[in-house]
Every structure is written in C-alpha cells, then in structure tokens.
Chains A and B, each alone.
Chain A
Amino acid sequence: MVSKSTSKYIGVIGAGSFGTAVANILAEKNQNVLLYARTPGKAASINETRTCNGYPIHDHIEATDDLEKVGKSCDVIFPIVPSANFREMMKDLSPYLKPYHILIHGTKGFDLNVNRDKIDDQNPLTREHVRTMSEVIKEESSVVRVGCLAGPNLAREISEKKPAATVVASHFDEVIRVGQTLLRNERFLIYGSNDLIGIELCGILKNIIAVGAGTIAGLGLGENAKALFISRGLVEMVQIGKALGGNAQAFLSLAGVGDLMATSYSSLSRNFTVGNRLAHGEDIKAIIDSMEEVAEGVKTIDIINELARTYRVRVPITETLHRIISNEMSVDDAHRYLMKFPFRAEIDME
C-alpha cells in the first residue's frame, strides 16, 4: 500500500513576511498555494481580508491552520518559520510527511538541540548540538529530498515586485529543478547549488555581520568604516563557516556576499535594525520585545560565539557583538576595540 499523492497545492508553512512573499511568487504561476498560519485566527483573517502582514495576497492562496492538510495535499512544501520554532513545527508536521515529499526551507538560523545550562567547559557546545534547518528536517521526518532558499531577498522588495534572485541549494538536482520551476518568473531569478550546508551557513552567518553593520550605521561612522567592517566580517564568516563544514566558495555566491550586502545596507533588514537601535542606546531586550518578527542574528551571535570557542576559531566581530548584547561593552567601546584588533589573515580559499 503506497500512499498516492495529489499535487493540488504547493505548501508554505509560516505566514511571516518572507513566507507570504514566497506564497505570492508561487501563486503567481497559477499554482494553488496552501499557506499555513499557526493560529486559526490568523488563517481566518488572511482568508477574509486577503492580506497578510499588510501585504495583499494572491487569489490562488488559501490560508489554513491545519498541518495535516498541508502534508496530505502538498508534494512540495516551503517551511519558513523562525529557527526557534522550527523543530517543534517539524515534529507536528512529520506524521503527515512521506519520503515522496520535497521540502525547501527559507529559515536562516540554527536549531539548538541541547539545554544551554548543560554546556560548560567540560561539555562544550559542538556542531553536534547545533543543527541547520535541513538537518532538523531530516532528523524529524522521513523526508530526504531537502533544499533551502537563500539570497538577498528582502521580503518587502519582493512583495513590491522589484527584481531579485535567489539560490535553491540541495544535494538533489531534482529539488533544485522543482524549486526553479515553481519560483522562477521574469523578475525573480533562481540559481542552483549542490552545497546545501554551505549555502545554509551563508544565510545564517551573514545575520551576525548585518547586526554589526547596523551599529556602524547607527553610530554614523560612514561608508568607509562600514565597508571595512563588512569585508572583515566576510572573512570571519568564511573561517567559522569552514569550521562548521561549509566550503569557502559558497560565501562568494549570491547567498553569501550577495545576501550580506543587501542585509548590511538595508533598514528593511531586521538584523540591521537591531544593530542600528543598539547604537542608539536602546536595550537589547527592549528591541527584541518591540519587534514583530524574529531577528535571527541575535541568537546566532550567541551560538557562534560559543562554537568558535570550542573550535578555536578567532571571531573578533562575533565576540565583540556578543559583549554588546550581553551588556558587557558599549557600542562605542566595541568599535574602538575592533579598530585596534590586529587582523592579519586574509581569506584562505583552500
């Protein structure tokens, strides 16, 4: 007895701004899209008002709060929920997933599968404790055909139908093909990559640098300083990325440098905004509480700071940002400190 699939819908899980933007792109190509929202209230309001987070949604989109329906009526699903809720969502979805499903996620953060209280010098945080979303999907379900979306994709601009491009990364050519077929249109280009982990790491790590770039903008230190910061930041991304199992090449791609530029220069970026507000003297907790959507960068700074210690990678930028968000250092002092830091090594592409 093999389950027959009915490909009536394409699924999108997560009705945040990026999830909505992806749902709209999918729907534009005459596909029926099932958009999952966590609460019945939100799903009902989307269906009623035909808007989501203030953006209009396409006629082909139907909102639901029923994961079973998503699993059973979609062969291809795009999960786009914050990393902190991702595993939980997968656990709920997993009973309805079969090996024929294809999942392409758009979440740029880490999953932490260990209680932070248990981490100490004897038991350091390692790569085993930290998972990318594709790894979470594989751990929590029988789905193996997994991919990710990454690239400079500020949700607002996509919703405003401005041109953009993205990378679909997967070990499976099939998944890349499916992603291209479903998403490509005349103003949205899709590149493919087989380096799934590398591309996921790009999307995750660039958020750290985006927070830092925000602080520079906030302090009004100028474009030279920002360019200096971003290029040093890229080196740091590559070094920590390599320690975590990524290739240096990925960081030069659209999902690496491309995404880094967009987020580090745009006030539309949540991570940039966090840094910007930190520089204006706001408290980190107050900033997080006031934001509607999650800025993944803050959690990532904390994780990478810890991992870098375990793997003995020098990450001066992450370390300094970590001191800022744990209120050990002011933004001003941080930048003075970084200007004195003896950066030596350039990127080693080997």
Chain B
Amino acid sequence: MRKQKEKVRYSEIIPRTQQWPIVQLAKDRKAFIGEVTNESFDSLKTITRGRSLREELEMTVYREKLRMKANPWRVDPKDEKPFWKSIQDRLVDSATLPPAEAKEIEEGLLREIIHRYADEIAGNFKKNSYRFARAFITFGFARLLNATRVKGFTSLFSRQLDLDDKIQIVGEPEHIRALAKKGTVVMVPTHFSNLDSILIGWVIQFLGLPAFIYGAGLNLFNLKIFAYFMNSLGAYKVDRRKKNPVYLETLKTYSSMALRRGCHSLFFPGGTRSRSGQIEKALKLGLLSTTIEAQRIMYQQENAENKARKIFIVPVVINYNFTLEAPALINEHLKRTGQERYYKEADEFTTSYKIASFLFKFFTKGSNISVTIGKGMDILGNYVDMEGHSLDSTGAIIHPKDYFISQGEITVDHQREQEYVRILAKRIVEEYHKYNRVFASHLVAYTAFKMMERKNPKLDLYNLLRVPDEDAMIDYEEFKTAWKKLRKRILKLEKKGKVGVAEHMKEKANLAIEHGLANLGMYHAQRPLVKKGDKVIIQDMNTLYYYHNRMEGYGLEKHI
C-alpha cells in the first residue's frame, strides 16, 4: 500500500456548472454581443474627444488598413479586407449627402464596426471542452510528472505525485473562495511568461472556483494548442494591435458588462509580459477601470430587493525560478526605444514543439513554482474581510458606494473614476511587492549583478552588459558575504510584511546559494551564473540582468 501525504483538497464552491455565470453568458452569447454593441455605441456617441464621428470613422478605417498591411496574423479572419473596404466605400459615398442623412449612415457604420469587434472579442466558452481541458491539464500533467519522477515510464498511472506537489499555492486561498460566493472576483496576476495563462487556469480549478473569463492576447490564438485551451478556459480576445478608440471602448464595455453579470474575471494588469523581469510598476489602466465603472453602475441600479453585487480585486503573484522566454524578453526590453511599436513575436513560445519540450523539462526537473493568492480588496484597494465588507486602515467597515456619492447622491464623474483607477493600480503594485516570494535564485542574480555594477562604476548599463568574459567573475567569498547581507535585509522586510521569502532561503548560506545557482534560469542554453572553484562566473549578462530585475524596488541597492 502506498501512503499519501495529507493534501489540501478544495471542493467546488458552485458544483453545478449550469449556474456558473460564464455558462449563462456563453449560452446568451448572441444577445450579449448585442447588448455590448448597444452600450458601446451609446457611450461612443457621447464621448467626442473633439472629433466628429466622421473623423473618428475615417481614422479607424485608416488605422485598420495600416494594421492589416503592416502586421497581419494567422488568426485574422479572411473577410477582413473586404469588410473595411466596404466601410470605407460607404463612408466616402455618404460624404456629399445632407448632414442628417450622412449622420444616419455614419452611425450605422459605427454600429457595424462595434458589432464586428464585439463578436471578435467575445469568448467561445464551452462547458464540455472546459471539463476536458481541465481534466487534461490536471490528469495529463500529473501522469507526465509521475512517469518521470517516480519510477520511470511504468509509473505513468501512479497517483503518487500531483501537480500540486510541483506548484505551491500560498497566501489566502480561503479568502478568494469565500469572496467568490459573496460577489464577483477579479483576479489580477503578475505576468512573466505565456505559461501564466494555463497555470492560472489550473489554479482556479484547483481552488474549486467557477471558471473565470479573461482577456488573452490574440497572438496566443495563433497557436492551435493554445487557442484550444484559451477558448475552453473562458478567454476572450484582446488584440493589442488595435489601439483605436472604437475598439478600446468595445473591449472595455465587454469587460464591464460581463462583470455586471457576475462573471469572475481575470486581467493581467501589466498588459503584456514583463519585458525587463521587473515586477509590474505601471499597470494598464484601461481594463482595470472597468471594475470601477461596473461597480458604480451596479450601485446605481440597486434597489431594496436587489442589492448590488460587490466586486473584489485579488492580486496574485506567480514566482518562477525560471522564465522560458527570458532571453528574448530581455533583448526586446534592451532594444526598446521607449515607444510601443508593433512587435514581432520571436520568442520561445512560437512552436508547439518548443512548448512541449519545455513542459517536459519543467516536469522532469525540480524547479518549483509558487503562486501567492493575495488578500481580497474592494475597488479602491481597501482590504475586505471574509464577509466581503470593506475595511479602512483602522479596521472599521466602510461602504464603497460612498466613493461615488457627492452631496448624498451617486454621481457619474469620469475624471474621478480615472483617479480611483490610479489609486487601485497603486495598491495592486504594493500588494505585488508584498506577495513576491524571494527565491534564492532571484537573490543570487541580484547580488551578482549589483556586485558587477559596483566593480565597474564607470560603465553604463549597456556597456556593463558587454563586459569581457575575463572580467565577468566574482570571488565566491565576497559574493557570499554580500549575499548574506542582502538576505538579512530581506528577512527584515519579511518581518515587516513587505515581501515573502521561500523556505529554502532560510537554510545555511552555502546551501541556499547552491540552491539558487542551481535553479537560476536552469533551462537556458547558457546558465546565467555558475560556480567554478572559488569563483562565481557570469556566463550570460543579459539574462542575469533580467533575473536581477525581479528584486528591484525594495531599496536593496543601499545594502551592498
């Protein structure tokens, strides 16, 4: 008989999938797209931005044509070109009509465009394939894990190891479960790797939560295998190439209306994967703002029988020793001139083969992932208790509705809400830093890089990254002294609740450093840092810089 160690198992909080808001939404897909179209249309009509509707349409057509030419993707629908051509023709034809007639045509075109966007954005959630994808991830990965870790191929059907041995969930999982019953949860994880989407999908089902909807970059749908998982995990599509106001408004309305229908949602508020390896500092405010708008609208619509559902924001921090795409990401970061350009997808997630081989490596070698579930907050970043009540800093209960009240009435003030988004974003970033778990690997990278900086005070970053091989080494004893000093500082921060620290960090310095060196970027062709004799040798400055960035923002540089 095999002995299994005690494991936490979470029951599903709503066992009947029929009742999941996301299932209702998928059933209603057509009607929902209609509603989104109507609401986006109304708000776009009122927001003028100093342009006439005609100018707005001309601009949209122009940008879309430019995008189709400059940056076509495999997922783009075939009828795209004729569609925009037809819009353009009708726009041109109506230019000479009397204003009233022209206006009617313009509004019709606007509605057509919005409808197309809404249809493109809307997810294709299917209950059955959700079940399948879920089972596949849990079962399939677990089998792979057992096959390679336990006794070779014969143990393919062993139940000894599960995915949750590999992935540690820490933080406040009970809180998110309680909140998902009381209101609508918006999960906001950090974003380092494309793997995050699937990982989070697994976390959600592991915690027994109903499926979440989430915005996934349309580029991920280029890849068949991803597209399948995305669709089945409730993804809706976000196309970062489309930056025109009509698209952005439609996207925001989609998110806002889904929240109002009670769909738990997931945003990666950093927008894209962190290019520098640093924890997100500046969040994309667009989608985040829909949480505040949705909450306000729910308060406006509430009455004595129908109380407004509350929206809860739950930050989640994902920690890896290793980011598959690190070399490509950091190169992109370094090349970037500060402007957001159309970028070519040229990283390790381009072929299914590479992903498969990564997954295989991931499950066969011991490099853990930890996912920290943060404490739930309201839409202004106040913590909420298990009952979902917002608390102020003294622990007194406050009502988020009051944030929208002016002279006793709820008022609509977009500028005010914009400020609220900023406050919320700042709070999320604070929470990220707090829940970030320091691994020994992060700290060895940080120590080594900072020591190189100290040794070469005259070099700027770009020259430092190009330092010749013979200079790219550090005396081990010196390294250890510096590392220990930083660890002391980090443990102090941990005591103050400003950061998390992985257990292995508390072992003897030699052991912890060894652990860190062994895990730092372990699957890269070239390990960033290795120990040879009494030296620590830097083999790849760029990836070292990437992993070092993870520890920026804690004021550690003063202590080295």
Would you list which residues of chain A between 1 and 48 have a CB under 8 Å from chain B?
1-7
* Residues in chain B near residue A330, CB distance under 8 A: none
* Residues in chain B near residue A94, CB distance under 8 A: 392, 394
Interface string of B98-111 (1 = CB under 8 A from A): 00000000000000
Q: Please tell me which one of the listed residues B380, B398, B416, B419 contacts residue A98 in the complex, with CB atoms under 8 A apart.
A: B398
**Cβ of B415 under 8 Å from chain A:** yes
Q: Please tell me which one of the listed residues A1, A3, A6, A174 contacts residue B416 in the complex, with CB atoms under 8 A apart.
A: A174
**Cβ of A55 under 8 Å from chain B:** no
* Residues in chain A near residue B394, CB distance under 8 A: 94-95
Min distance, Cβ B71 to any Cβ of chain A, angstroms: 35
Given A7-B407, A144-B380, A172-B402 contact (CB < 8 Å): no
* Residues in chain B near residue A173, CB distance under 8 A: 413, 415-416
Given A3-B402, A100-B402, A142-B382, A75-B393 contact (CB < 8 Å): no
Would you list which residues of chain B between 385 and 406 have a CB under 8 Å from chain A?
392-394, 396, 398-403, 405-406
* Residues in chain A near residue B422, CB distance under 8 A: 171
Min distance, Cβ B415 to any Cβ of chain A, angstroms: 5
Given A6-B408, A94-B394, A139-B393, A1-B419 contact (CB < 8 Å): no
| Interface hub of B382, B392, B413, B415 (most chain A Cβ within 10 A) | B392
26 CB < 8 A contacts A-B: A1-B399, A2-B402, A2-B405, A3-B399, A4-B408, A5-B407, A75-B406, A75-B407, A75-B408, A94-B392, A98-B399, A99-B399, A99-B405, A100-B405, A100-B408, A139-B393, A140-B393, A142-B392, A142-B398, A144-B419, A144-B423, A172-B415, A173-B413, A173-B416, A174-B413, A174-B416
Whether A2 contacts B407 by the Cβ 8 Å rule is no
**Nearest CB in chain A to that of B398: its residue:** A142
Bound-complex Cα distance A3 to B403 (A): 12
Could you count the A-B residue pairs with CB atoms below 8 Å apart for me: how many are there? 61
For the complex, count residues of B whose C-beta is within 8 A of A: 23
Would you list which residues of chain B between 343 and 398 have a CB under 8 Å from chain A?
380, 382, 392-394, 396, 398
Q: Please tell me which one of the listed residues A2, A100, A171 contacts residue B419 in the complex, with CB atoms under 8 A apart.
A: A171
**Cβ of A73 under 8 Å from chain B:** no
Whether A99 contacts B403 by the Cβ 8 Å rule is yes
Bound-complex Cα distance A139 to B393 (A): 8
Min distance, Cβ A279 to any Cβ of chain B, angstroms: 41
* Residues in chain A near residue B382, CB distance under 8 A: 142
Interface string of A110-153 (1 = CB under 8 A from B): 00000000000000000000000000000111101100000000
* Residues in chain A near residue B403, CB distance under 8 A: 99-100, 144
Bound-complex Cα distance A99 to B406 (A): 10
Min distance, Cβ A23 to any Cβ of chain B, angstroms: 20
**Nearest CB in chain A to that of B422: its residue:** A171
Whether B400 contacts A99 by the Cβ 8 Å rule is yes
Whether B399 contacts A141 by the Cβ 8 Å rule is no
Whether B415 contacts A2 by the Cβ 8 Å rule is no
Would you list which residues of chain A between 183 and 229 have a CB under 8 Å from chain B?
none
Min distance, Cβ B138 to any Cβ of chain A, angstroms: 42
* Residues in chain B near residue A99, CB distance under 8 A: 380, 398-400, 402-403, 405
5 smallest beta-carbon distances between A and B, as pairs: A99-B402, A100-B405, A142-B392, A100-B402, A99-B403
Min distance, Cβ B458 to any Cβ of chain A, angstroms: 20
Bound-complex Cα distance A173 to B420 (A): 13
**Nearest CB in chain A to that of B407: its residue:** A7
**Nearest CB in chain B to that of A126: its residue:** B555
**Nearest CB in chain B to that of A173: its residue:** B415
* Residues in chain B near residue A145, CB distance under 8 A: 416
Mark A residues whose CB is within 8 Å of B.
1-7, 75, 94-95, 98-100, 139-142, 144-145, 171-174
Min distance, Cβ A289 to any Cβ of chain B, angstroms: 36
Bound-complex Cα distance A86 to B382 (A): 23
Bound-complex Cα distance A139 to B382 (A): 12
* Residues in chain B near residue A98, CB distance under 8 A: 398-399, 402
| Interface hub of A1, A99, A139, A141 (most chain B Cβ within 10 A) | A99
* Residues in chain A near residue B406, CB distance under 8 A: 75, 100, 174
Known contacts A94-B392, A172-B419; 9 further A-B pairs (Cβ under 8 A):
A4-B408, A6-B408, A7-B408, A98-B402, A99-B380, A100-B403, A100-B408, A144-B403, A144-B419
Bound-complex Cα distance A33 to B416 (A): 26
Bound-complex Cα distance A94 to B380 (A): 18
Min distance, Cβ B377 to any Cβ of chain A, angstroms: 13
* Residues in chain A near residue B405, CB distance under 8 A: 2, 5, 99-100
Bound-complex Cα distance A139 to B403 (A): 16
Bound-complex Cα distance A174 to B399 (A): 20
* Residues in chain B near residue A1, CB distance under 8 A: 399
| Interface hub of A6, A139, A171 (most chain B Cβ within 10 A) | A171
Whether B392 contacts A174 by the Cβ 8 Å rule is no
* Residues in chain A near residue B419, CB distance under 8 A: 144, 171-172
* Residues in chain A near residue B407, CB distance under 8 A: 5, 7, 75
Bound-complex Cα distance A94 to B395 (A): 12
Bound-complex Cα distance A139 to B394 (A): 10
**Nearest CB in chain B to that of A145: its residue:** B416
* Residues in chain A near residue B401, CB distance under 8 A: 2
Bound-complex Cα distance A140 to B396 (A): 12
Min distance, Cβ B123 to any Cβ of chain A, angstroms: 34
Interface string of B467-488 (1 = CB under 8 A from A): 0000000000000000000000
Bound-complex Cα distance A282 to B447 (A): 55
Min distance, Cβ B426 to any Cβ of chain A, angstroms: 11
Whether A95 contacts B380 by the Cβ 8 Å rule is no
Min distance, Cβ B556 to any Cβ of chain A, angstroms: 15
* Residues in chain B near residue A171, CB distance under 8 A: 419, 422
Bound-complex Cα distance A141 to B394 (A): 8
* Residues in chain B near residue A140, CB distance under 8 A: 393
Min distance, Cβ B392 to any Cβ of chain A, angstroms: 4
| Interface hub of B380, B400, B406 (most chain A Cβ within 10 A) | B406
* Residues in chain B near residue A2, CB distance under 8 A: 399, 401-402, 405
**Nearest CB in chain A to that of B382: its residue:** A142
Bound-complex Cα distance A7 to B407 (A): 7
Bound-complex Cα distance A6 to B405 (A): 12
Q: Please tell me which one of the listed residues A6, A100, A144, A174 contacts residue B415 in the complex, with CB atoms under 8 A apart.
A: A174
**Nearest CB in chain B to that of A140: its residue:** B393
Whether A172 contacts B416 by the Cβ 8 Å rule is yes
* Residues in chain B near residue A75, CB distance under 8 A: 406-408
Bound-complex Cα distance A98 to B402 (A): 7
* Residues in chain B near residue A6, CB distance under 8 A: 408
Min distance, Cβ A96 to any Cβ of chain B, angstroms: 11
Bound-complex Cα distance A287 to B238 (A): 66
Bound-complex Cα distance A171 to B417 (A): 11
Min distance, Cβ B391 to any Cβ of chain A, angstroms: 9
Min distance, Cβ B412 to any Cβ of chain A, angstroms: 11
Would you list which residues of chain B between 207 and 250 have a CB under 8 Å from chain A?
none
**Nearest CB in chain B to that of A178: its residue:** B406
**Nearest CB in chain B to that of A144: its residue:** B423
Bound-complex Cα distance A95 to B394 (A): 9
**Nearest CB in chain B to that of A4: its residue:** B408
* Residues in chain A near residue B400, CB distance under 8 A: 99
Whether A95 contacts B396 by the Cβ 8 Å rule is yes
**Nearest CB in chain B to that of A176: its residue:** B415
Bound-complex Cα distance A98 to B382 (A): 13
Min distance, Cβ B555 to any Cβ of chain A, angstroms: 10
Whether B408 contacts A5 by the Cβ 8 Å rule is yes
Bound-complex Cα distance A21 to B543 (A): 62
Bound-complex Cα distance A94 to B398 (A): 12
Bound-complex Cα distance A72 to B437 (A): 43
